[in-house]
Amino acid sequence: MINVQEITSVNEIDTFIQNNRLSMLYVSQEDCNVCHAIYPKLKNLLNNYPEIKLAHIDASQVEAVAGKLLIFTVPMIILFFDQKEYLREGRFVQFEQLEAQLEQLYNAV
């Protein structure tokens, strides 16, 4: 099972990205039904990619995350490779497309 780091402040975002070559942020809100549906699917998908480290941010508790990462809707998935944004998926995530992109990156690394 994948280990998920809970991020509770904006400062922790930078630290997480700096400490992990492949880092993924999952931004959600408590009252978002789509967020609750996508989260288990995402964790299940990432079991196939152990090098990608996942962190979860509740945007209603870390309100500054929207401004820092330019997030206008939730859920939002942002993948960083070597501290640079590589991929961004929002609201309705196409998991087949996401998996193909992860596979392509994973094979290139």
CA distance 63 to 37: 22
- Decide if pLDDT at 1 tops 80: no
Question: Chain-centre distance of CA 87, in angstroms?
Answer: 9
Whether pTM exceeds 0.85:
yes
**pLDDT digit string (tens) for 31-48?**
999 999 999 999 999 999
Owner of token pair 């979860």: 56
CA distance 33 to 14: 28
